[in-house]
């Protein structure tokens, strides 16, 4: 046992064997990376150095072949990541929505989210939701003002940056209120099936959506309290 340890320690004084140790050091370092791009980049570096080591210092054609496959697979995955995250031009409206939804959202996830929705416009007086009726969609208001009614009485107002139907979307229950456009509105509508497909593909969207709902709900409560405080006794 002590002889094996002595040989291991001696290998660190041999430049050739030290290079072999370095290939494994890169592989271990790649596993420690939390960023998947860095993980794959370091894994590629480890594979390339192993190919060099097995070609010029300790020849092993089997290792060379499988290390080459390892490098090619990781190169392909990096190329796929680049393709998915390549930036396309977003409209100012889309940029505003993403910054509100989750500013740090990876671009590939943001693109899938936007593809899951459709932009609509509606004139004043339109009903975007109806109390007691199913709403298999989530609505994000981009422009315009909306009045929320319950039992025929106004209970709240929503404007640009607000979601409509988020509680119904999460619970699957009928709409708890009727949303009436007080002005012409423009909104982004996500059908449940398409949004759920995007969330299965990009699990990060589920966490980002819940955080966005919470922020939006807090804003609605603050505005509701301010409205009550300003109302005459």
Residue 118 clears pLDDT 70, i.e. is over it:
yes
Instruction: For residues 228 and 147, give the distance between their C-alpha atoms in angstroms, rounded to a whole number.
Output: 15
17 and 124 both lie in a single domain: no
Q: What is the mean pLDDT of the chain?
A: 85
Instruction: For residues 69 and 63, give the distance between their C-alpha atoms in angstroms, rounded to a whole number.
Output: 10
Q: What is the pLDDT of residue 7?
A: 59
Residue 3 clears pLDDT 90, i.e. is over it:
no
Last residue of a domain, one of 85, 116, 134: 85
CATH number at residue 169: 2.60.120.10
Q: Which residue has the higher pLDDT, 79 or 141?
A: 141
pLDDT single digits (tens) 80-114: 877 766 666 788 999 999 988 888 888 888 989 99
pLDDT single digits (tens) 66-85: 999 999 999 998 888 777 66
40 and 79 both lie in a single domain: yes
77 and 107 both lie in a single domain: no
29 and 124 both lie in a single domain: no
79 and 132 both lie in a single domain: no
Last residue of a domain, one of 49, 70, 85: 85
Last residue of a domain, one of 85, 107, 132: 85
**Per residue in 36-47, is it b (16+ CB within 10 Å) or e — as a string?**
eeebbbbbbbbb
Residue 13: C-alpha distances to residues 5, 10, 75, 139 (Å)? 13, 5, 33, 66
Instruction: For residues 120 and 122, give the distance between their C-alpha atoms in angstroms, rounded to a whole number.
Output: 7
79 and 111 both lie in a single domain: no
107 and 80 both lie in a single domain: no
- Name the least confident of 44-48, 50-54, 71-75, 166-170: 166-170
71 and 103 both lie in a single domain: no
- Name the least confident of 8-22, 120-134, 213-227: 8-22
74 and 8 both lie in a single domain: yes
57 and 112 both lie in a single domain: no
179 and 96 both lie in a single domain: yes
Instruction: For residues 114 and 190, give the distance between their C-alpha atoms in angstroms, rounded to a whole number.
Output: 9
pTM, two decimal places: 0.63
| Domain span holding position 162 | 92-230
77 and 167 both lie in a single domain: no
The tokens for 1 are: 């046992």
pLDDT single digits (tens) 207-232: 898 888 888 887 777 776 665 665 55
Q: What is the pLDDT of residue 117?
A: 94
Number of domains composing the chain: 2
């Amino acid at each position: 046992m002590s002889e094996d340890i002595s040989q291991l320690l001696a290998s660190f004084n041999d430049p050739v064997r030290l290079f072999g140790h370095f290939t494994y050091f890169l592989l271990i370092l790649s596993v420690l990376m939390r960023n998947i791009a860095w993980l794959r980049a370091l894994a590629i570096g480890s594979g390339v150095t192993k190919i060099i080591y097995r070609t010029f210092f300790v020849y092993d054609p089997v290792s060379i072949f499988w290390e080459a496959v390892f490098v090619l697979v990781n190169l392909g995955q990096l190329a796929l990541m680049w393709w998915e995250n390549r930036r396309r031009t977003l409209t100012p409206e889309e940029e505003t929505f993403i910054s509100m939804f989750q500013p740090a959202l990876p671009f590939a996830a943001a693109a899938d989210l936007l593809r899951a929705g459709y932009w609509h416009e509606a004139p004043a007086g339109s009903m975007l939701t109806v109390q007691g009726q199913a709403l298999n969609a989530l609505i994000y208001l981009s422009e315009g003002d909306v009045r929320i009614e319950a039992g025929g009485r106004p209970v709240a107002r929503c404007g640009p940056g607000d979601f409509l139907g988020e509680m119904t979307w999460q619970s699957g229950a009928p709409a708890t209120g009727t949303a009436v456009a007080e002005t012409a509105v423009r909104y982004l509508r996500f059908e449940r099936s398409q949004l759920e497909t995007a969330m299965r593909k990009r699990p990060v969207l589920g966490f980002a959506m819940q955080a966005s709902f919470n922020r939006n709900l807090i804003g609605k409560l603050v505005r509701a309290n301010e409205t009550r405080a300003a109302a005459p006794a």
